[in-house]
Amino acid sequence: MKKKIVIDLPLNTENCRSKAMQIAVRCAGVMSVNVDKEKGHLVVIGVGVDYFRLMNCIRKKFRCSSIVSLEDVKPEKPASPKNTSYPSPKCPLICPPICGQYYPVCQPVYDPYNPTCTIM
C-alpha cells in the first residue's frame, strides 16, 4: 500500500531542499519526493517506506525535522473510457518481421612476430 509521509523541515535555501530530496530518494521504496515551498514540507510517497529509518537519515542533517502526517494513498480509479466516433480495430497491428539477420564478421588479427627482437 502506498504511504504519504509529510515531513516539516527548515527548507530555507535551494541547497537545503536538494539535500533533503537526495536523502529521501536514497531510502528504499520511495517512489516520489516533492517539496512544498510555502509550508516548508517534504512530501514523500512510496510503497513499504520505513518512515523511522527515513526520519533518522533526515535528522542527521536537519535536527529540527518532524513528521506532520502519515497516511495511506488510495489508488485512483481509472476513468471510464469515453465513446469516440472512431471504430476500434478488429485485429491488432502486427509489425512485419525484419528480413535477414545480421551476423558480425570476425576479422583475424595477426601479431607480427619479429624473431630478431632482443628485448624478450
- pLDDT per residue as tens digits for the range 55-72: 888 888 888 888 999 999
pLDDT band at 11; cut points 50, 70, 90: confident
CB atoms within 10 A of CB 46: 22
**Minimum mean pLDDT among 28-37, 51-60, 71-80, 88-97: which range?**
88-97
User: Is residue 23, in this structure, part of any structural domain at all?
Assistant: yes
The CATH number of residue 7's host domain is 3.30.70.100
pLDDT confidence of residue 43: 93
Nearest to 3 by CA among 41, 37, 33, 39: 33
E strand or H helix at 57, and its extent? helix 51-61
E strand or H helix at 35, and its extent? strand 30-36
Number of structural domains the chain divides into: 1
User: Is residue 52, in this structure, part of any structural domain at all?
Assistant: yes
For the segment 27-38, the average pLDDT, to the nearest whole number, is 89
